């Protein structure tokens, strides 16, 4: 099905099932321990061996030689695979560095060997006996030191720089100017489930049960890595214990499980230890960002510029922290620039809301600072510079943009009018402040397919390689099929995460829910047509309700239609160019109250509110869960998350969940989410948009702005730890 004209009235609009806050249908499996995660699959193979990965002990250089004698002689060892024994290997399209390093080393903890043994303890012990003789070379590990050598990156069709009007002249002439620099650190996904895989060969074909967000990408890249045909690779990932972008791409666990299984002739499972999750896989790169805003004295932005620097391995991409600035606020004269430094750190890549999340950490502090210079309330300043058109292309309107409404509703609900003057609110030992920031994320869509099966028992089964990363994909897909086919939710079976199923959008980029349910919608339209024709009803007028199809004076039960043979159809949603004709984005407003201890500068979040405009909300309960989870990640980014780089040896020092701090329950006492009641017919037949990444965009800046309101201390370098506040705290704070 081609989606190239705005959606009109369709069966989803009935909202009998879609739009309702159903519990996640996979919930009971998870709380009872029956959800089959990759490493714990005891039902698919017998007697798997265990692989343990050896990570490179240098960040750059080459391997002179291996000494494997002691490791091979260790108890229980079945095989050891290195680049010397692995055979011909390739590099996946979406991988920057080789998943099995050698002889060249690209980054610290790049996999250089996998030791396979009967037990985990034996594999780990033997891995510690592997001796590698390295020839290290000097690397670059410091973004600040490499900033001056950063270059304009080659981003294919994506132009890294933009310019409209004459920024320099307009900025110089502006009566009120802001020019500040902000930094964000390297950050880790820190998902609960590590990267883990189980691989088994059947002749020349391999099946990998793994934890991965994008099944088709993984199948393609594993085939390329192993130098075999894609038809010989099957990827299975029905449940993912957290990804946040860190499992968008094939990683070493899957490739080495397959290589280990081939080497020892039996199934092998590999889980990356936590230090390798941090140093071997991907992370969010650090940024340096300069924001300049020039405005009239009454608060209209005349000129705005946003420049960003980040680093990555050769052939890596930058952190596109300027994305939102190109679209978010009005202003005739504009400029953005992106520069990329070559660093020899582990690969930087997508992490929840890549680009906008760190970009808004800078932009939304800058907006508050500009509002203060102007003497304008921060909410009113943002509303004053709202726009209904793409600021770079005024002829291109937003399909829907209700940002001002988000701010008005949020301000009233949060009690923004009671916001104190800077440093004026004291609650016992706590200095209290309120902060605000815009939430913005583009609405992306991707081709997505599904297979539908109507059986004689009157049940409908959905098969698609879409994944559920804890976000509720099983449930919203079931709700879509139930709505379209006129069935109760309990008569829909959903099967996900298998490369033998039709290719879906996968989970990432905030495109998953909208795209995947649209693919199910397309397949349901085809199934409705097949059922109606079999009964002799015009598909255009057929009504599906209560387990029946009706029309033209006829009716039949769905079970009866499929009595002699299952009806199976397959289709996909293909999106046209409506996203080019109209700018499609999601919007919101974050409000935060913090308390800062007057003596110690410890910061505590007291309450948070997000008001979101993101099209039709398919399931308010699971959508709220996504947003509060994103808000929590934003709190971590604001206050604690920081991968510390050893700038001599080139690795992340705090590479575990003891040293890399993330928020816990006690850090987030109260969260509230409000969704505007809206539909966007330009987005999809579901009239929905993504919401999972919107919640993280801007929230860190809202926290930073609240801290400033409480203390009068402006911190522009994240995370905002107490050491950055203490020396500048108000006098007499004790």
pLDDT one-digit tens code per residue, 573-617: 999 999 999 999 999 999 999 999 999 999 999 999 999 999 999
| Whole-angstrom distance, CA of residue 690 vs CA of residue 585 | 9
Element (H, E) at 67: strand 61-67
pLDDT-derived band at 366 (thresholds 50, 70, 90) equals very high
pLDDT-derived band at 157 (thresholds 50, 70, 90) equals confident
pLDDT-derived band at 447 (thresholds 50, 70, 90) equals very high
| pLDDT (average), residues 282-289 | 98
Neighbours of 346 (CB within 10 A): 31
- The partner residues of 233 in beta bridges, in order of sequence, read 206
Residue 140 has pLDDT above 90, yes or no: yes
| Whole-angstrom distance, CA of residue 188 vs CA of residue 719 | 13
pLDDT one-digit tens code per residue, 172-216: 999 999 999 999 999 999 999 999 999 999 999 999 999 999 999
pLDDT of res. 731: 77
How high does pLDDT run on average in the chain?
A: 97
Confirm if 711 and 431 have CB atoms less than 8 A apart.
yes
| pLDDT (average), residues 469-493 | 97
pLDDT of res. 513: 98
Element (H, E) at 530: helix 512-535
pLDDT of res. 383: 98
pLDDT one-digit tens code per residue, 654-663: 999 999 999 9
| Whole-angstrom distance, CA of residue 213 vs CA of residue 467 | 6
Angle at 504 between CA 210 and CA 614, to 5 degrees: 110
Report the percent of the chain where pLDDT is more than 70. 100
pLDDT of res. 732: 55
C-alpha closest to that of 638 among 728, 727, 724: 724
What is the DSSP code string of 261-278? HHHHTS-EEEE--HHHHH
| pLDDT (average), residues 623-635 | 98
List residues with catalytic annotation.
693
pLDDT one-digit tens code per residue, 224-241: 999 999 999 999 999 999
CA dihedral angle for residue 521, residue 526, residue 530, residue 536, rounded to 10 degrees: 80
pLDDT-derived band at 734 (thresholds 50, 70, 90) equals very low
pLDDT one-digit tens code per residue, 395-404: 999 999 999 9
Residues 6+ apart with CB under 8 A from 501: 451, 463, 464, 465, 495
Confirm if 198 and 39 have CB atoms less than 8 A apart.
yes
Neighbours of 350 (CB within 10 A): 23
Residue 98 has pLDDT above 90, yes or no: yes
Answer whether 2-30+446-497+522-577 and 38-138+189-279 agree in fold.
yes
pLDDT-derived band at 67 (thresholds 50, 70, 90) equals very high
The whole model's pTM is what? 0.98
Q: Right CATH number for 2-30+446-497+522-577 from 3.40.50.720, 3.30.365.10, 3.90.850.10, 3.30.465.10?
A: 3.30.365.10
| Whole-angstrom distance, CA of residue 700 vs CA of residue 357 | 8
Q: Right CATH number for 38-138+189-279 from 3.30.365.10, 3.40.718.10, 3.60.21.10, 1.10.3720.10?
A: 3.30.365.10
pLDDT one-digit tens code per residue, 499-517: 999 999 999 999 999 999 9
Q: Tell me the C-alpha to C-alpha distance, in Å, between residue 374 and each of 159, 293, 295, 369.
A: 33, 11, 8, 9
Domain positions in the chain are: 2-30+446-497+522-577, 38-138+189-279, 376-443+584-726
pLDDT of res. 246: 98
pLDDT-derived band at 156 (thresholds 50, 70, 90) equals confident
Return the CATH class of domain 376-443+584-726: alpha beta
């Amino acid at each position: 099905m081609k989606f190239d004209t705005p959606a009109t009235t369709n069966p989803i609009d009935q909202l009998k099932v879609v739009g309702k806050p159903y519990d996640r249908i996979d919930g009971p499996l998870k709380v009872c321990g029956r959800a089959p995660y990759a490493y714990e699959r005891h039902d698919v193979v017998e007697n798997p061996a265990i692989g343990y990965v050896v990570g490179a002990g240098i960040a750059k250089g080459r391997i002179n030689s291996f000494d494997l004698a002691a490791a091979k002689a260790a108890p229980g060892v079945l095989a050891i695979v290195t680049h010397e024994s692995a055979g011909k290997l390739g590099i996946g399209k979406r991988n920057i560095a080789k998943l099995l390093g050698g002889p060249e080393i690209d980054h610290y903890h790049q996999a250089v060997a996998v030791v396979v043994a009967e037990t985990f303890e034996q594999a780990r012990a033997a891995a510690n006996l592997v001796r590698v003789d390295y020839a290290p070379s000097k690397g670059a590990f410091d973004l600040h030191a490499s900033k001056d050598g950063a270059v304009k990156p080659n981003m294919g069709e994506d132009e890294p720089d933009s310019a409209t009007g004459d920024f320099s002249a307009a900025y110089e002439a502006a009566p009120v100017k802001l020019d500040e620099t902000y930094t964000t650190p390297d950050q880790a996904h820190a998902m609960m489930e590590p990267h883990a895989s189980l691989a088994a060969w059947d002749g020349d074909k391999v099946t990998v049960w793994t934890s991965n967000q994008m099944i088709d990408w993984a199948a393609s890249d594993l085939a390329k890595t192993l130098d075999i045909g894609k038809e010989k690779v099957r990827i299975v990932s029905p449940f993912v214990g957290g990804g946040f972008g860190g499992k968008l791409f094939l990683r070493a666990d899957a490739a080495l499980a397959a290589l280990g299984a081939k080497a020892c002739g039996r199934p092998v499972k590999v889980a990356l230890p936590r230090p390798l999750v941090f140093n071997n896989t991907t992370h969010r790169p650090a940024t340096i960002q300069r924001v300049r805003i020039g405005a009239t004295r009454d608060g209209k932005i005349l000129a705005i510029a946003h420049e960003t620097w980040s680093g990555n391995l050769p052939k890596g991409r930058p952190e596109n922290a300027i994305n939102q600035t190109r679209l978010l606020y009005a202003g005739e004269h504009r400029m953005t620039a992106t520069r990329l430094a070559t660093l020899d750190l582990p690969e930087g890549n997508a992490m929840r809301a890549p680009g906008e999340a760190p970009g808004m950490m800078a932009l939304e502090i800058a907006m508050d600072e500009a509002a203060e210079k102007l003497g304008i309330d921060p909410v009113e300043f943002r509303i004053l510079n709202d726009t209904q058109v793409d600021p770079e292309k005024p002829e291109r309107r937003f399909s829907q943009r209700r940002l001002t409404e988000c701010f008005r509703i949020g301000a009233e609900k949060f009690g923004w009018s009671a916001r104190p003057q800077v440093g004026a609110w004291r609650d016992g030992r706590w200095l209290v402040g309120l902060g605000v920031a815009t939430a913005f994320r583009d609405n992306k869509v991707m081709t997505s397919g599904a297979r539908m099966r109507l059986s004689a028992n009157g049940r409908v089964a959905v098969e698609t390689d879409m994944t559920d990363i804890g976000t509720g994909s099983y449930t919203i897909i079931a709700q879509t099929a139930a709505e379209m086919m006129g069935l109760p939710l309990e008569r829909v079976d959903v099967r996900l995460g298998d490369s033998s199923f039709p290719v879906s959008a996968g989970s990432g980029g905030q495109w998953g829910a909208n795209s995947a349910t649209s693919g199910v919608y397309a397949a349901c339209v085809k199934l409705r047509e097949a059922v109606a024709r079999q009964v002799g009803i015009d598909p255009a007028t057929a009504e599906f309700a209560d387990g029946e199809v009706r029309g033209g004076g006829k009716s039949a039960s769905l079970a009866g239609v499929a009595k002699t043979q299952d009806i199976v159809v397959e289709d996909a949603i293909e999106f046209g160019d409506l996203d080019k004709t109209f700018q499609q984005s999601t919007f919101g407003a974050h409000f935060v109250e913090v308390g800062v201890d007057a003596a110690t500068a410890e910061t505590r979040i007291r309450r948070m509110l997000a008001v979101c405009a993101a099209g039709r909300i398919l399931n308010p309960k699971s959508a709220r869960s996504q947003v509060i989870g994103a808000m929590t990640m934003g709190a971590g980014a604001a206050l604690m998350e920081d991968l510390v780089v050893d700038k001599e040896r080139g690795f992340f020092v705090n590479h575990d969940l003891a040293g890399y701090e993330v928020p816990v329950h006690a850090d987030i006492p109260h969260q509230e989410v409000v969704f505007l009641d809206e539909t966007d017919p330009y987005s999809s037949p579901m009239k929905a948009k993504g919401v999972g990444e919107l919640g993280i965009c801007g929230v860190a800046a809202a926290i930073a702005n609240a801290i400033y309101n409480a203390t009068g201390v402006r911190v522009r370098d994240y995370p905002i730890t107490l050491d950055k506040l203490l020396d500048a705290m108000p006098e007499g704070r004790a």
